[in-house]
Amino acid sequence: MIRHCVFIRYSASVAAEEKAAILAGIEGLKAHVDGMLTVQSGPNVSPETGMDKGYSEGFIIDFADAAARDRYLVHPLHQALGARIVAAATGGVEGVFVYDLEIAG
């Protein structure tokens, strides 16, 4: 299984409605990408002040395997949502952190 983690430093001007629309779009991709298992999203709730480096919100997607993750990466709906995320992030791509983990089992 691949756990795809995405954390975002949103620009202050990005409305809550846009953030919600982006996350709804990510969730909606499950219907279009075979092997996309779960999506978890929300604001950072860690009490470790300053450790978030400004990445205030994010989402985590579990994929059945790397092939499913790779189908997601090239899917046109993902490409469009990725562009929206970059446009909404502080500093563009600099405001987005992506980290994938391979989960055994």
According to the model, what pLDDT value does residue 49 have? 85
CB 88 within 8 A of CB 40: no
According to the model, what pLDDT value does residue 105 have? 73
Q: Which residues in 1-105 belong to E strands, given as ranges?
A: 2-8, 36-43, 57-63, 96-102
CATH domain 2-102 topology = Alpha-Beta Plaits (3.30.70)
Sheet holding 96-102, edge to edge: 36-43, 57-63, 2-8, 96-102
Residue spans per domain, the chain: 2-102
DSSP 52: T
Each residue's pLDDT, cut to its tens digit, for the chain (105 residues) gives: 999 999 999 999 999 999 999 999 999 999 999 999 999 999 999 999 889 999 999 999 999 999 999 999 999 999 999 999 999 999 999 999 999 999 997
- Burial class of 21 by CB neighbour count within 10 A (0 to 12, 13 to 18, 19+): middle
